Chain A
Amino acid sequence: MTLKKNILALRQKKAIVEKGGGDKAIEKQVAMGKMTARDRILALLDVDSFHEYDLFVEHEERNFGMASKELAGDGVITGTGTINGAPICIYAQDFTVMGGSLGLKHARKITKIMDHALRMKVPCIGINDSGGARIQEGISALAGYGEIFYRNTMSSGVIPQISVILGPCAGGAVYSPALTDFVFVVENISKMFITGPNVIETVLGEKISQEDLGGARVHAEITGNAHFYALSEMECFDQIKELISLIPHSNQQKAVSVEPKEPKSLKNIENIIPADPKQPYDVREVIHALTDDSKFLEIHELWAANIVIGFGRLNGETIGFVANQPMYLAGVLDCDASDKAARFILYCDAFNIPIVTLEDMPGYLPGVDQEHAGVIRHGAKMLYAYSEATVPKITVILRKAYGGGYIAMNSRHLGADFMFAWPGAEIAVMGPEGAANIIFRKEIMEAEDEDAMRQQKVQEYIEKFANPFVAASKGYIDAVIEPSETRELLLHALEVSKNKDDHRPAKKHGIPPF
């Protein structure tokens, strides 16, 4: 009978700790429009799949009246479970327990589950909802953060790491999400900053709200710190589930393949792109016309909208897409676009995901702000990422491919495996107007009617050089194809690239232009 008694005692003990900060604190959490840490985990994972560890861990701080304080689970829930049947490790900070503040034991619970994820080669998901370091614990809290960052770095490129910001995430705490692969934010709930509005006002006298400083929209649209933006926690969890279904669960695995499906795009691919290179269109329609079931999970949808990145499937296999977006800023490359694409390429390469690049861009964005923001060093990231990647790399030039941008967008010269171009593609050192102005400068200046001569020379240039055949004649393009053949050729190219075996010189690591 004692076993039964013990079981009852255990249940009682668990029930108390599982309440977190207690009814009042939970009420407050709900009043802020937030779910509790436990409900979040249960909502995200498969039903009945969650198992918790370290429920009875207690802090050891004795200063500042902490000795008498009992903190349920030390403010964080850790465990394992499944998403769509796939095993994952997860932790969720519990804001109802002392504001989810991070002390040493709290951090050690997190690092323990992170170590487990890395050993077992499963994705690690962290739900952040914390006021920051537990000041009473002093530098032990800082030690805790550091130990998390170290593990984020060790796991990088080995297992997928996902950060979900569902509350405040301020000060040093922000660097764990920044080191992970994908950051999810929710409108009105996520707040991320290094120094908050109070500090900014005290030190600088600048008044700004938390939302305007580091709200979900700011990070999704302006800073690029967030990869996915949702209007509710449930929408956010759906996004995570979709992402998990598309990515490999470690760098030694492939993403789960599914039954191939034909695209169900309504638009004929030939009618999406205007022939006039100056007219815009939404390149996502081209992606939808190519992918299985016309599905595409866009990453960084709002930030640097002049380039589109994300995952779709071709013949049932996950593919990373990188595409210039003529609808925004004419599809130019700039600091943010290069940054965005380069890290995505690194991700795809680390996790064995082939990359399809769709190219239609007029070059780099001109401007003092760009030059001073370091477009040279940011732009170089793309060259580095494409050159370094050993996964199958296929490019389709849809329309414009000018100058440095042509090289950057996975050109043959950076190691593309297949280069296709649509018949209207313009592959040239620069736009016809610019080129004609330089090459025929003398003729234009000496002409009686300069404008007429300029027009004539531009036209000559377009006819001679603004086409795919010059590049094809040099072997830089493997095939000039009809738009309607694109999907079939991509499927074929991926099929024949399956056993691609490409190596880089042995090195500790390269030195990319961070």
Chain B
Amino acid sequence: METEKPEYVDFAVTARKYKTLLTKKYQNRKQWINPSPYDIQSIIPGTILSVFVKEGDVVNEGAPLLILEAMKMQNRIEMPFTARIKKINVEVGVRIPRETLMIELEALDNE
């Protein structure tokens, strides 16, 4: 039935490489990236209702950073540990997708 020969690629399973075709789903799979604790990402898409901090602020663990409204719930995003706000990438009113880098943190230099 097949007239043209498919283009097989090398595919490693453990220590051996096999010639095979890849599925679309496999090709489109997401590469895993080790998340940085200094990146505050959205875990759900939604709208930024308020931002409580400014760039340069030193914020204590547990203090509110912003409110992300999603699925009719106002989610309070809190500081994961005491650190300085390096950059804020969102503003009030914007709608953001999932896994948006909302706030970047940096470690306090001393102490």
* Complex CA–CA separation, A435 to B97 (angstroms): 45
A277: chain B residues within 8 A (beta carbon): 18
B29: chain A residues within 8 A (beta carbon): 367, 369
**Interface residue stretch chosen among A248-256, A324-332, A469-477:** A324-332
User: B12: nearest residue on chain A (CB-CB)?
Assistant: A366
Q: Does A204 contact B (CB under 8 A)?
A: yes
Which of these, A206, A330, A369, A430, contacts B18 with CB under 8 Å?
A330
- If A430-B14, A434-B14 touch, whether A222 touches B21 (CB-CB below 8 Å) is no
- If A203-B71, A368-B32, A369-B29 touch, whether A363 touches B20 (CB-CB below 8 Å) is no
* Complex CA–CA separation, A221 to B26 (angstroms): 11
Interface bin, chain A? 35 or more
Q: Which residues 1-58 in B have Cβ within 8 Å of A in the complex?
A: 6, 8, 11-26, 29-30, 32, 45
Which of these, B15, B20, B32, contacts A433 with CB under 8 Å?
B15
B13 in contact with A362 (CB, 8 Å): yes
A203 in contact with B13 (CB, 8 Å): no
B11: chain A residues within 8 A (beta carbon): 329-330
Which of these, B13, B17, B19, contacts A365 with CB under 8 Å?
B13
A369 in contact with B32 (CB, 8 Å): yes
A433 in contact with B21 (CB, 8 Å): no
* Complex CA–CA separation, A433 to B15 (angstroms): 6
B76: chain A residues within 8 A (beta carbon): none
A206 in contact with B13 (CB, 8 Å): no
Chain A proximity of B80: nearest CB distance (Å) = 21
B24 in contact with A221 (CB, 8 Å): yes
User: B71: nearest residue on chain A (CB-CB)?
Assistant: A203
B23 in contact with A433 (CB, 8 Å): no
User: B28: nearest residue on chain A (CB-CB)?
Assistant: A222
A326: chain B residues within 8 A (beta carbon): 18, 20
B16: chain A residues within 8 A (beta carbon): 278, 362, 431-434
- If A206-B97, A368-B32 touch, whether A431 touches B20 (CB-CB below 8 Å) is no
**B11, B16, B21, B95 — most chain A CB neighbours (10 Å):** B16
B22 in contact with A328 (CB, 8 Å): yes
* Complex CA–CA separation, A221 to B24 (angstroms): 8
Task: Provide the A353-372 mask, 1 if CB < 8 A to any CB of B, else 0.
Answer: 00000000011011111001
B45: chain A residues within 8 A (beta carbon): 203-206
Chain A proximity of B95: nearest CB distance (Å) = 5
- If A368-B32, A431-B14, A434-B14 touch, whether A278 touches B25 (CB-CB below 8 Å) is no
Task: Provide the A363-395 mask, 1 if CB < 8 A to any CB of B, else 0.
Answer: 101111100100000000000000000000000
B30 in contact with A366 (CB, 8 Å): no
A205 in contact with B97 (CB, 8 Å): yes
- If A203-B45, A205-B95, A369-B30 touch, whether A278 touches B14 (CB-CB below 8 Å) is no
Which of these, B12, B22, B24, B97, contacts A222 with CB under 8 Å?
B24
B97: chain A residues within 8 A (beta carbon): 204-206
Q: Which residues 428-463 in A have Cβ within 8 Å of B in the complex?
A: 430-434, 437
Q: Does A280 contact B (CB under 8 A)?
A: yes
Chain A proximity of B75: nearest CB distance (Å) = 14
Chain B proximity of A197: nearest CB distance (Å) = 15
Task: Provide the A274-297 mask, 1 if CB < 8 A to any CB of B, else 0.
Answer: 000111100000000000000000
B21 in contact with A372 (CB, 8 Å): no
Q: Does A306 contact B (CB under 8 A)?
A: yes
- If A363-B13, A369-B32 touch, whether A280 touches B18 (CB-CB below 8 Å) is yes
* Complex CA–CA separation, A433 to B21 (angstroms): 22
Chain B proximity of A340: nearest CB distance (Å) = 12
A327: chain B residues within 8 A (beta carbon): 6, 20-21
A330 in contact with B24 (CB, 8 Å): no
B22 in contact with A329 (CB, 8 Å): yes
B23: chain A residues within 8 A (beta carbon): 304-306, 328-329
* Complex CA–CA separation, A19 to B45 (angstroms): 45
A304: chain B residues within 8 A (beta carbon): 23
Chain B proximity of A237: nearest CB distance (Å) = 23
Chain A proximity of B100: nearest CB distance (Å) = 11
Which of these, A203, A205, A279, A328, contacts B21 with CB under 8 Å?
A328
Chain B proximity of A137: nearest CB distance (Å) = 24
Chain B proximity of A325: nearest CB distance (Å) = 9
Q: Does A349 contact B (CB under 8 A)?
A: no
A330 in contact with B20 (CB, 8 Å): yes
Q: Does A233 contact B (CB under 8 A)?
A: no
- The 9 A-B residue pairs whose C-beta atoms are closest, nearest first, are A433-B15, A330-B18, A368-B32, A434-B15, A204-B45, A330-B20, A434-B14, A362-B13, A205-B95
| A-B contacts besides A362-B14, A431-B14, 14 pairs, CB < 8 Å | A205-B95, A205-B97, A279-B19, A306-B23, A326-B20, A327-B20, A328-B23, A366-B14, A368-B32, A369-B30, A369-B32, A431-B13, A431-B15, A434-B15
Give A residues with C-beta under 8 Å from B. 203-206, 221-222, 277-280, 304-306, 326-332, 336, 362-363, 365-369, 372, 430-434, 437
Give B residues with C-beta under 8 Å from A. 6, 8, 11-26, 29-30, 32, 45, 71, 95, 97
A-B contact pairs, 20 of them (CB 8 A): A204-B45, A204-B97, A205-B45, A206-B97, A222-B24, A279-B19, A280-B8, A280-B18, A304-B23, A306-B23, A326-B20, A328-B20, A329-B11, A329-B20, A329-B21, A329-B26, A330-B11, A366-B14, A372-B32, A431-B14
